[in-house]
A and B are shown apart, each in its own frame.
Chain A
């Protein structure tokens, strides 16, 4: 609480950045819009970095935690994949499609069992009363299949989701696919696409209302992106 108040009084902007594959393009984006220095030197393993001249503090967190930091107000702004936003179902403003980190969220199954069916739905229904879905995204999976009217049991896993159908733990997986290499190696095929994923800029709902600096910054970024025409898409 003190932390947040101190930040607000100095009009510091707290930005939550995702560790991992989105980290570098996120920092590049921040440099482009003037929220980070081009020549900034990022020490390894530092979880918090402070740029007193720009008035920005960077919090380096797990991608799946970015939405939590922002919705709880520990960070005003965050960068995170659309997949994490869809799964979290928390209250944040999603203001900009940053265009990078592009991949697909899809349903996949072992090719040897699914190849005989003309369409994915026939395959799903052939799996008995309850389709078992191994995934890092149980909420998205349940929502997707309930739209199709299919009863599913989501099996939440933290990683190596492809393993689950091989050992009979699940019938299908719902996971991110970027090149398709991982699926191929594990003799799986993409049955359908659930969503196209890119990185998004998200904002705490109250910061958006009570912090003029943040609203102005976002307005400026929006104009900049619009006049560039490319890069980020609305």
Chain B
């Protein structure tokens, strides 16, 4: 059945969501949602870079609305308005359909969590740990976590004495992954400075905890170095060391991050599974000064990675109850009992069905058991050589 995968995509997604939901719940997170049609102003206030890629429309009052391109801005705006009722620290998670102007995936699914009012390395590490556990629960066996920190670029820029415009140009080029432009900026520095700034280039791979010194010599200040060390310490409590490294070149695409950030990749499928980080400035734009951190995972990427490991939840056995139409009453009764016992049941009628015809029909339906009028189960073996 070639299009079965397509047809049941929602089912496998719900399955992955259910496993994730259980993890979120165990970590004390409550599930929230936000309107699909959101106020354009909310996105503007958040200064979200997703603003450029949002679908915009106008309502009957002339207000501009957008199809929500991300969940953090609407959650933060709601939480700012209800800062009294929603006690802090606030732990919320979501499963959402998002929309962005794009030629390939204009509609996509995200799961994520936000921890509002949580400060320090403990909260940052909670995001990394929760994200990893959510991925493992979804059936992902191999993943790689790259940690980063927005202070690396800021500190290096200022220790190089880059003026504001140049520093901004460097940040944009790194965010756009335009290394040719980055090298152009570095080539205008003296050889010593250019050499130091090379930690920002993506060629070295992620650093282990004992290799962090190279950051300090590149110009990263004590405060950021301490934060990175503390984050590493905590993160190593929640995830295996060989999968985690510090990546000085990591720049997240959304630009409201203000501290530790991270991304998780799947080496098997070559996909970015998710990521997140600290965004302390964002609440302030909605009138409440408080620390905040969060992450999101791409459900489609998670589904493909999990499917490679054959991690789909096995379904309950399927039974075909096949009775003559004059006995439909008994058939319905039997089906009800079987369903109550957790089986999946299809009820059909046929004029005086024989066992042979019944088995053939059950096989067509993909059933594991056949029940005829006598109420006895008959096992249905798939025909040898038949490809599901």
Interface residues in chain A, defined as those with a beta carbon under 8 Å from any beta carbon in chain B: 1, 4-5, 8, 73, 91-97, 200, 204-212, 215-216, 218-219, 222, 234
Query: Of the candidates A1, A73, A91, which one forms a contact with B308 in the assembled complex, judged by CB atoms under 8 Å apart?
Result: A1
Chain B residues with CB under 8 Å of chain A are: 144, 146, 177-181, 183-184, 186-187, 201-206, 247, 253, 263, 265-272, 304, 308
Provide the residues of chain A in CB contact with B253, threshold 8 Å.
Answer: 91
* Contact status B180-A209, CB under 8 Å: no
The one of A94, A97, A210 that contacts B270, using a Cβ cutoff of 8 Å: A210
Shortest Cβ distance from A145 into chain B, in angstroms?
A: 17
- A92-B177, A97-B180 given as contacts; is B270 within 8 A of A218 (CB)? no
- Also in contact, A96 and B265, with CB within 8 A (given A215-B204, A218-B203): no
Give the residue of A8, A93, A219 whose beta carbon is less than 8 angstroms from that of B267. A8
Question: Are A1 and B267 interface neighbours, CB within 8 A?
Answer: no
- Residues of chain A within 8 A (CB-CB) of B178 are 94
Interface centre among A1, A206, A211, by most chain B C-beta atoms within 10 angstroms, is A206
Contact of A1 among B177, B186, B269 (CB under 8 A): B269
Inter-chain contact A205/B267, CB cutoff 8 Å? no
Partner of B177 from the list A4, A8, A73, A93 (CB cut-off 8 Å) is: A93
A93 touching B270, Cβ below 8 Å: no
Nearest residue (CB) in B for A88 is: B103
B177 to chain A, nearest CB (A): 4
Using known A-B contacts A209-B144, A210-B144, determine if residue A4 contacts B270 with beta carbons closer than 8 Å.
yes
Point out the residues of chain B lying under 8 angstroms from A94, CB to CB.
Answer: 177-181
Identify which of A5, A208, A234 contacts B268 (C-beta below 8 A): A5
A209 engages B269 (CB within 8 Å): no
Q: Which of B203, B247, B271 has the most CB of A within 10 A?
A: B203
Query: What's the Cα separation between A151 and B279 when bound, in Å?
Result: 36
**Which of A4, A205, A218, A222 meets B269, CB within 8 Å?**
A4
Given the interface pairs A91-B177, A93-B177, the reply to whether A219 lies near B270 with Cβ below 8 Å is no
**A4 proximity list for chain B (CB < 8 A):** 269-270
Greatest chain A CB density within 10 A among B181, B205, B263 is at B205
B180: chain A residues within 8 A (beta carbon):
94-97, 200, 234
Residues of B within 8 A of A219 (CB): 203-204
Closest residue on chain B to residue A234 by CB atoms: B183
Other than the known A93-B179, A209-B247, what 13 A-B pairs have Cβ atoms closer than 8 Å? A4-B269, A94-B180, A206-B265, A206-B272, A210-B144, A210-B265, A210-B267, A215-B203, A215-B204, A219-B204, A222-B201, A234-B186, A234-B187
